[in-house]
């Protein structure tokens, strides 16, 4: 059970049973296809469909400020997360933390290997639906002791949550209480790389507010 809250501090709780990660969620299909081709040249198998809905163990979702990861090959990605609670769709900020070494041979396995940190504060999706494309995803990474801007971009480059939910529902039935979906990310500035600490932000410039979360990583040794 996740202990969450609304922006005004009212307590919310969610028992997530199905955690979905929407991959290849870019709005520009030509750009998505180009990226697929780039990865294919590096040996990464193309997705079976676009967007592709990866399933991840629900217990991977956490609001903890410190997480453990295996080795030093993983990194985070700032993403909006949507989840129905009591029939109301809420939006938050999360990180699709992924093992990049494993990703080279299986994206699905790489996502399952890592926890998915999220912030405890949520907004009703209805409060941002009419200006969704103005929202900004941003992240900061602390690498070698230096805090750097790691990602920054409007969610306008990604499919809207309603479109992602509709795609899921077409194949799997109603998106309802007990489910949560990460909704895609924006490119990393300077390339994907690991960090000791990761900060994620979903900014609403019209309402002048942000959802934030930060977590540090303890790297566990890879032993044979």
For 2-220, which CATH superfamily applies?
A: Fumarylacetoacetase-like, C-terminal domain (3.90.850.10)
- Burial class of residue 6, CB neighbours in 10 A (0-12, 13-18, 19+): middle
Q: What pTM was estimated for this model as a whole?
A: 0.95
Mean pLDDT on 85-91: 96
> Would the pLDDT of 42 be above 70?
no
> Would the pLDDT of 7 be above 80?
yes
The rounded distance, in Å, linking the Cα atoms of 63 and 55 is 19
What is the predicted pLDDT for the residue at 61?
98
What is the predicted pLDDT for the residue at 47?
87
> 16-30, 41-55, 79-93, 196-210: which range is least confident on average?
41-55
> Would the pLDDT of 85 be above 70?
yes
- Partners of residue 8 on adjacent β-strands: none
- Could you tell me which residues come within 8 angstroms of residue 14 by beta carbon, excluding any fewer than 6 positions away? 1, 2, 4, 83, 85, 177, 178, 180
The rounded distance, in Å, linking the Cα atoms of 191 and 19 is 27
pLDDT tens readout for residues 138-168: 999 999 999 999 999 999 999 999 999 999 9
Does residue 154 contact residue 133 with C-beta atoms inside 8 Å?
yes
- Taking all residues of the chain, what is their mean pLDDT, rounded to a whole number? 94
The rounded distance, in Å, linking the Cα atoms of 175 and 30 is 28
What is the predicted pLDDT for the residue at 38?
67
What is the predicted pLDDT for the residue at 103?
87
The rounded distance, in Å, linking the Cα atoms of 100 and 97 is 9
pLDDT tens readout for residues 204-223: 999 999 999 999 999 999 99
Mean pLDDT on 131-143: 98
What is the predicted pLDDT for the residue at 209?
98
What is the predicted pLDDT for the residue at 33?
87
What is the predicted pLDDT for the residue at 96?
97
The rounded distance, in Å, linking the Cα atoms of 127 and 91 is 10
Instruction: Break the chain into its structural domains and give their ranges.
Output: 2-220
pLDDT tens readout for residues 164-194: 999 999 999 999 999 999 999 998 999 899 9
Which of 100, 85, 115 lies closest to 179 in space, CA to CA? 85
pLDDT tens readout for residues 97-118: 999 899 888 889 999 999 999 9
């Amino acid at each position: 059970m996740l202990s969450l809250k609304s922006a005004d501090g009212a307590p919310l709780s969610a028992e997530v049973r199905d955690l979905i990660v929407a991959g290849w969620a870019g709005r520009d299909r030509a750009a998505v296809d180009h990226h697929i081709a780039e990865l294919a040249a590096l040996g990464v198998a193309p997705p079976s469909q676009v967007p592709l809905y990866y399933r991840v163990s629900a217990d991977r979702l956490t609001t903890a400020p410190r997480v453990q990861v295996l080795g030093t090959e993983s990194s985070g990605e700032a993403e909006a997360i949507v989840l129905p609670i009591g029939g109301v769709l809420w939006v938050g900020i999360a990180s699709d933390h992924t093992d990049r070494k494993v990703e080279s041979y299986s994206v699905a396995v790489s996502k399952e290997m890592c926890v998915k940190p999220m912030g405890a504060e949520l907004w009703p999706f209805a409060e941002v639906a009419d200006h969704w494309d103005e929202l900004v995803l941003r992240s900061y990474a602390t690498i070698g002791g230096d805090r750097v801007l790691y990602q920054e971009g409007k969610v306008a480059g990604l499919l809207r949550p309603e479109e992602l939910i509709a795609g899921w529902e077409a194949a799997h039935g109603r998106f309802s209480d007990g489910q949560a979906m990460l909704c895609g990310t924006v490119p990393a500035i300077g390339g994907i790389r690991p960090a000791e600490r990761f900060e994620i932000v979903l900014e609403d410039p019209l309402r002048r507010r942000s959802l934030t979360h930060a977590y540090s990583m303890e790297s566990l040794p890879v032993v044979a």
